[in-house]
Amino acid sequence: MSRGEFEKKIMEAVVADARLAALEFDDARAWLEQARQRPMEPLAAEVWVTDPHFDHVLLVEHRVRGWVPPGGKVEPTETPREAAARELREETGLSARLLPEPAAVAVRSYRADWSRTLGLSYAAIVDRQAPLGGEKGQPAAWFSLDTEWESVFPEDRARVLSHVRRLVGERPVEAR
């Protein structure tokens, strides 16, 4: 497969997941339509991990951003879903099955020197007893959804809560 064909495949995956995302923030779908006219780098992917009781979220302590969902940059050879699963493994030591429907699509700047970019949030449900590992100096920890956490993205808590409420209202989901 040529580089151009591969990039087209990745963009098709981005657009498909953005359209399927349960929640949209920052007018992300309209932003994506405009952004498709030029290369989008970096793309971002993260995982909103909740427990089976839907009262905790798993976060990692980033050295600059504070407590954030596990995630990061989508590499040129992977889809956002693949990147989300990889980042979850790298940052928490967990290999969890991502729910089929993306949780959200948003637009934000992840670093001061980056322009705004598209981020896809996926979801997973994991038992809180699962052993956590991850990257040195970037611990992972469970936070009650009733408490706030320090982050450069204070809107994340409300966004994750919206997602959890949607999950609880739609269907019971078992831990993976």
Task: State the pTM of this model.
Answer: 0.85
Residue 54 counted as domain residue: yes
Task: Find the domain containing 97 and state its range.
Answer: 3-170
User: Is residue 152 in a domain?
Assistant: yes
Q: Show the tokens assigned to 18.
A: 């953005």
Identify the residue whose tokens are 């989508």: 74
User: How many domains, in total, are found in the chain?
Assistant: 1
What CATH number is given to the structural domain containing 40? 3.90.79.10
Model confidence pLDDT, tens digit, residues 130-164: 999 988 889 999 999 999 999 999 999 999 999 99
Question: For 76-135, what is each residue's pLDDT tens digit?
Answer: 889 999 999 999 999 999 999 999 999 999 998 877 777 888 899 999 999 999 999 988
Domain annotation covers residue 124: yes
Handedness of CA 62, 65, 70, 76 (dihedral sign): negative
Q: DSSP 3-state assignment of 162?
A: helix
pLDDT in tens, 6-35: 777 888 888 899 999 989 998 888 888 877
HSE-up of residue 55 (Cα within 13 Å, Cβ side): 2
